[in-house]
């Protein structure tokens, strides 16, 4: 039987439909009005028509029942109106087709109603507003039986949600499909409408909604733009350890607070950050042991200036204690936080960061921000001190330590020049 559906996919939608057929898991980060909901509903309809399983079951999940009902349900009815003998259940938002297949619209408001069902395929629309528990505890088990597929589609909403986690995961997993569509690249929304949206929303929200920016709404973000750029240039990717180069480390050391370590390799002009480690309330032997266990061949360790402080319990400097454990530190110069941040901004464009080993570090980079002081209507001068501070301090150690090397080299050159040598 030949059935027609009144849907002609746009170029980008057609591409996605093809890729969804090839991949079990996909993450689609697309701007507002891209045509996400229309595309997802039509993909489910197509799957219903093509799937050969006994009683195929598919689901569309929206954050709330009213979102599912207001938008997706109308699309579903519209696009299936040409199919014979379709039964629509208005209260359950369920649609049964002539061939025994079914699409149900569900919402993450009542996960218990979804528990225990099986699914051949599922799409999560506006996935950044869908709870982690729903996806991990309900949807994944539901697709396990029939090896069903799952697609998460959304505009970003910051970094503390399942969509961002899955976005990072999709960057690492070779067999996942990751797609990103910014309005400035698709030309699907006309310029007048975009300009109007920009005026109403302001830059941060606009970048989130139309330019797929995960940092768009982290107010006062310090490295936000640079990180987006690194991402666009695919520098946040798989950056494996290259055994033909030695590994260096850069530290932020806290004794009551967290200690954070970055592991990196200098490859030509590039800095490959291949690994990271963070822990708290541990003494030096612990970190020395971690370094040993990593099994890298080390060259240099850069530490912050407070390594020179004398420890009251041992009467020695922390640097000396580290030295006895086999960690010979070079101390980064003491610079103001502002100068340190500047050094990092100069350094980041040279960096490649491993997305597998450095998830926590990457999150910290994105999160690092200055607090907005509502009363004074300005951002505080200092970055907010929170979980993200330690990795960012370690990165400042790296940047200022390397800067120092450059200054030293200039100094060596200068001295050599003064003595009449050329280097």
Ligand X SMILES: Nc1ncnc2c1ncn2[C@@H]1O[C@H](COP(=O)(O)OP(=O)(O)O)[C@@H](O)[C@H]1O
Binding residues for ligand X (CB under 6 A): 7-10, 13, 32-38
Least separation in angstroms between CB 308 and ligand X: 56
Asked if 352 contacts 237 with a C-beta cutoff of 8 angstroms, the reply is: yes
Which does residue 402 touch among Mg ion, ligand X, none (CB within 5 to 8 A, set by kind)? none
Closest CA to 123 of 96, 153, 146: 153
Q: Three-state SS for 329?
A: strand
Of 77 and 360, the one with the shorter C-beta distance to ligand X is 77
Which residue among 37, 67, 213, 363 contacts Mg ion (CB under 5 A)?
Answer: 37
User: Which lies closer to Mg ion via its Cβ, residue 37 or residue 128?
Assistant: 37
Supply the minimum distance, in Å, between the C-beta of residue 79 and ligand X: 10
Minimum gap (Å) between residue 11 Cβ and ligand X? 10
Angstrom distance (rounded) from CA 301 to CA 255: 18
Question: Which of Mg ion, ligand X, none does residue 13 bind (CB under 5 to 8 Å by kind)?
Answer: ligand X
Structure-token pair, residue 108: 């993450």
Q: If binding means CB under 5 A, how many residues of this protein chain bind Mg ion?
A: 2
Which does residue 9 touch among ligand X, Mg ion, none (CB within 5 to 8 A, set by kind)? ligand X
- Given ligand X, Mg ion, none, residue 34, with its beta carbon under 5 to 8 Å by kind, binds ligand X
In the bound state with ligand X, the residue whose beta carbon lies nearer, of 103 and 236, is 103
Least distance CB 110 / ligand X (angstroms): 22
Q: Name the DSSP class of 137.
A: I
Closest separation in Å from C-beta 86 to Mg ion = 22
Q: Under a CB-based contact definition with an 8 Å cutoff, are residues 86 and 49 in contact?
A: no
Q: How many helices (H) and strands (E) does the chain have?
A: 15, 17
Strand intervals (E) in 73-162: 87-89, 94-96, 102-107, 121-125, 149-154
Backbone torsions φ then ψ of 147, nearest 5 degrees: 50, 45
Neighbouring residues of 318: CB distance < 8 A, sequence distance ≥ 6 = 253, 284, 306, 307, 308, 309, 311
C-beta of 38 vs 138, nearer to ligand X: 38
> In this complex, which beta carbon is closest to ligand X, that of residue 69 or of residue 350?
69
140: its two tokens: 């994944």
38 touches, from Mg ion, ligand X, none (C-beta below 5 to 8 Å by class): ligand X
From CA 136, how far away is CA 115, in angstroms rounded?
Answer: 11
85 binds, among Mg ion, ligand X, none (CB under 5 to 8 A by kind): none
Q: How far is the CB of 123 from ligand X (least distance, A)?
A: 11
Q: How far is the CB of 44 from ligand X (least distance, A)?
A: 13
If you count them, how many residues does the chain have?
A: 423
- How many Å apart are CA 315 and CA 245, to the nearest integer? 37
Residue nearest to ligand X according to CB distances in the complex: 35
Q: Tell me which residues touch Mg ion (CB under 5 A).
A: 36-37
């Amino acid at each position: 039987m030949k059935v027609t559906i009144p849907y002609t996919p746009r170029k980008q939608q057609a591409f996605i439909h093809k890729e969804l057929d090839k991949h079990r898991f996909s993450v689609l980060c697309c701007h507002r009005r891209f045509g996400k909901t229309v595309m997802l509903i039509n993909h489910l309809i197509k799957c219903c028509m093509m799937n050969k399983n006994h009683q195929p079951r598919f689901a569309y999940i929206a954050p709330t029942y009213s979102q599912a009902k207001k938008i997706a349900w109308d699309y579903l009815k519209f696009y299936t109106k040409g199919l014979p003998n379709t039964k629509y259940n208005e209260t359950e938002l369920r649609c049964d087709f002539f061939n025994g297949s079914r699409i149900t619209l569900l919402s993450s408001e009542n996960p218990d109603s979804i528990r225990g069902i099986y699914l051949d395929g599922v799409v999560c629309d506006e996935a950044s507003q869908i709870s982690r528990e729903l996806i991990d505890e309900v949807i994944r088990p539901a697709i396990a039986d029939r090896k069903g597929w799952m697609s998460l589609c959304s505009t970003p909403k910051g970094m503390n949600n399942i969509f961002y986690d899955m976005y990072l995961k999709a960057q690492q997993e070779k067999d996942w499909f990751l797609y990103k569509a910014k309005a400035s690249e698709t030309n699907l929304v006309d310029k007048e409408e975009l300009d109007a949206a920009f005026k109403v929303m302001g830059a941060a929200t606009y970048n989130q909604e139309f330019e797929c920016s995960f940092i768009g709404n982290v107010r006062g973000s310090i490295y936000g733009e640079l990180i987006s750029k690194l991402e666009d240039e695919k520098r946040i990717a798989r950056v494996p350890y290259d055994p033909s180069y030695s590994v260096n480390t850069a530290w932020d050391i806290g004794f009551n607070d967290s200690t954070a370590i970055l592991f990196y390799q200098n490859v030509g002009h590039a800095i490959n950050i291949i690994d990271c480690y963070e822990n708290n309330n541990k003494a030096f032997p612990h970190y020395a042991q971690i370094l040993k266990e990593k099994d890298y061949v080390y060259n240099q360790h850069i530490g912050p200036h407070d390594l020179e402080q004398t420890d009251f319990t041992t009467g020695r400097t922390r640097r000396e204690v580290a030295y006895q454990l086999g960690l010979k530190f070079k101390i980064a110069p003491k610079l103001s936080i502002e100068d340190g941040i500047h050094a990092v901004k100069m350094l980041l464009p040279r960096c490649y960061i491993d997305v597998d080993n450095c998830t926590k570090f990457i999150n910290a980079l994105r999160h690092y921000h200055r607090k907005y002081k509502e009363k004074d209507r300005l951002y505080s001068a200092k970055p907010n001190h929170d979980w993200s501070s330690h990795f960012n301090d370690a990165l400042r150690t790296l940047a200022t330590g390397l800067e120092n090397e450059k200054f030293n080299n200039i100094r060596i050159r200068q001295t050599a020049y003064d003595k009449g040598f050329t280097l």
